[in-house]
Structure formats: C-alpha cells, structure tokens
Amino acid sequence: MVKVLVTGADGFIGSHLTEELVRQGYEVKAFIYYNSFNSWGWLDTTPEDIKQSIEVFSGDIRDPHGVKEAMKDCDVVLHLAALIAIPYSYHSPDTYVDTNIKGTLNVLQAANELGIRKVVHTSTSEVYGTAQYVPIDENHPIQGQSPYSATKIAADELAMSFYRSFETPVGIIRPFNTYGPRQSARAVIPTIITQIASGKEKIELGSLSPTRDFNYIKDTVNGFISFMESNKSIGETINIGSNYEVSIGETVQLISNVLNKKVEIVTSEQRTRPEKSEVERLWADNKKAKNVLGWKPSFGGKEGFKRGLKETAEWFLDENNLSNYKADVYNI
C-alpha cells in the first residue's frame, strides 16, 4: 500500500484531498498545523469512518525537524501547506517567506534525505500575473503581482532547482482558482454566497472586471491524484484548470440566480487590490494535463460552473456550515 503524506491537510483543498485518498485505498498521513485547541481544521468535520483511517501529525511546515519526522515511512508527499490569502500577504509578507519558501525547502531537503518516491508541489495560477495571452499555458511568463505570488514563484523555482540539481523526484501542479464547500471567505465565491445567505441585499466586493478560471474542488482533487499516479509528471509543471473564463461580475449574477436572490453590489475599497497588484485575467490552457495526466474537468464550461456553484451553495446554505462564517466581517 502506498503511504501518502498530505501537508496542509487541515485546509480547504487538503481536507477534500485527504478524504478522497482514503476512499481510494491509500494509507494517509495528514500533516496539520499545530494548535493548542487540538483542532484538525476541516478534518474535524470528515465522516468518522474516514477520520479513523487517517494518521494525524501536528506540526509546523516551517520546522525542518518536524517536517522530516512527518515524512518518515511515507512514499509520496503532496505538499499543499501554504499561506494563500493575497490581502494578508500585503499585511505580513515575512510570514509568507517563512511558510511558502522555507516550508517548501524543508519538504525538499527531507525528501532527498529520506528517499521519498515523489513530491507533488502545489503552485498557483497567481504566478502568471495578468494574462499576456490566453489561454495561459505552462510556458506563459511568470510575474509576481503580490507578495503571495512572489513567494509561490520562489517555491516553484526552488522545487525545480532540486529536481535539476539533485534529481529530487518532484513535479509542480498549478491549480487555477479552486472553489467549493469549506473554502475560506477570503475567496470571492464564499464571500458572495455567505453575504447573500445571511440575508444581505447589498453585498460588498472588490473589482468586478477581473476574470478567473474557476475549478471545482472535485476536479482539483482528481487533478492531484492523477498527477501523483502519473509516471510522467516528475520534473513537469502542469496546469489544472477548467479552460472557462468568467468575470467576477458575471459570477455574482450566476450565484444570485442559483440562490434565487437579487442583490446590489457595493464596491469596497478595503476589498480592492492595489491597481498594479490586481491580476486582471486568468484563463487556463489545460491541454498538458489532458495529454500527460489523462485528466480533464468534469465541471468545465458554463454549465459545469453552474453545477459546481449549485453544490457549493447547497453546502453553505446548511446552517451548521454557514455558522462557521462571519459574513459581516471582511476576511483578510
């Protein structure tokens, strides 16, 4: 049986990925961020039968000794642990350097020392910056437009430097904007849904003109597993995206239609990125994922996006889930 370590397993994507790996028969160790509340993050909400199948390791990705200890006896590492909120990276960029860059270095060094069979390093579409051409393929120029994206660029380059220098068996998966149940309200889709679901007729957002390539969580999770299982992904960088571009403004309309609510949008300066930092356009070319991994989105195109929004909204409308969110407070 293949034993897989998932770093960031307590987060949005990490918890869904951990659950699916268990369902598919993998032995899974979940690396979660240590806290004195003994909280496992979103893994606390996972079904009991799955929870009992997970080995949990509490630690800090910034600690090389703890990271190496967690990776012992594992065959594969799916490295998702990161700070990802862009506004908070304006606020506290130093923490992004320690977590995203040094944390990745810890994983790579331990992988070399322990002889790990494969490391899947998680990138982000934000490393491309505003699209210079569309759809964006893996050869598109890289541009850091926020401290967050700059640290992810550095982490990506570090991963590939280990592959080239030491033959570390690492590949880079580059998801575009993932959405779905459990996502933090720092992201735009949960922000829209939670404000509407809490009864607001006027919702606060930042800029409405930027476009995104939204990827439903089930597709992203399948992308990770396809990347992990492929014998062609080491040394490669591969986009995981729906190949469907939609503006934030149109996304609001689609969500309001799903919820059958009419809303007015109020532009909030607090929620608006600095002009040169805003990524105006993202649209994934996913041909490489199809050719190398045999992966393709199940929620692609406008109709797929609507289905994904419907599943997402249904989860947020459950009062037990909605109560975890503070719709009246801006989530940095």
56-75 pLDDT tens trace: 999 999 999 999 999 999 99
Instruction: Give, to the nearest 10 degrees, the angle between helix 12-23 and helix 217-229.
Output: 60
Q: Are 237 and 292 in contact (CB under 8 A)?
A: no
Q: What angle do CA 67, 69, 75 make, to 5 degrees?
A: 90
The tens digit of pLDDT for each residue in 111-163 reads 999 999 999 999 999 999 999 999 999 999 999 999 999 999 999 999 999 99
Task: Report the alpha-carbon distance of residue 272 to residue 267 in Å, rounded.
Answer: 8
Q: Please, what is the end-to-end C-alpha distance for the chain in angstroms?
A: 41
Closest-CA residue to 282 (of 133, 143, 172) = 133
Residue 259 phi/psi, 5-degree rounding, is: -90, -5
Within 8 A by CB and 6+ apart from 248, the residues are 188, 205, 206, 207, 208, 209, 210, 211, 212
Task: Report the alpha-carbon distance of residue 319 to residue 209 in Å, rounded.
Answer: 31
Q: What is the pLDDT at residue 300?
A: 97
Whether the full predicted model's pTM is greater than 0.85, yes or no, is yes
Neighbours of 34 (CB within 10 A): 13
Task: Please give the mean pLDDT across all residues of the chain.
Answer: 97
Residue 213 CA from chain centroid, whole number: 13
204 has which bridge partners? 266
Look at residue 255 and give its three-state secondary structure. Answer: helix
Q: Are 292 and 230 in contact (CB under 8 A)?
A: yes
Per-residue pLDDT for 328 more than 90? Answer: no
Per-residue pLDDT for 256 more than 90? Answer: yes
Q: What is the pLDDT at residue 202?
A: 93
Residues 317-323 have a mean pLDDT of 96
Q: What is the pLDDT at residue 61?
A: 98
The tens digit of pLDDT for each residue in 156-185 reads 999 999 999 999 999 999 999 999 999 999
Neighbours of 331 (CB within 10 A): 17
Per-residue pLDDT for 55 more than 90? Answer: yes
Per-residue pLDDT for 1 more than 90? Answer: no
Task: Report the alpha-carbon distance of residue 284 to residue 214 in Å, rounded.
Answer: 9
Residues 218-228 have a mean pLDDT of 98
The percent of residues in the chain predicted with pLDDT above 90, rounded, is 98
**Total count of residues recorded for the chain:** 332
Task: Report the alpha-carbon distance of residue 182 to residue 134 in Å, rounded.
Answer: 30
Per-residue pLDDT for 332 more than 90? Answer: no
Structural domains of the chain, with CATH: 3-176+216-240 (3.40.50.720)
Question: Which residue stretches of 98-146 are H helix?
Answer: 103-114
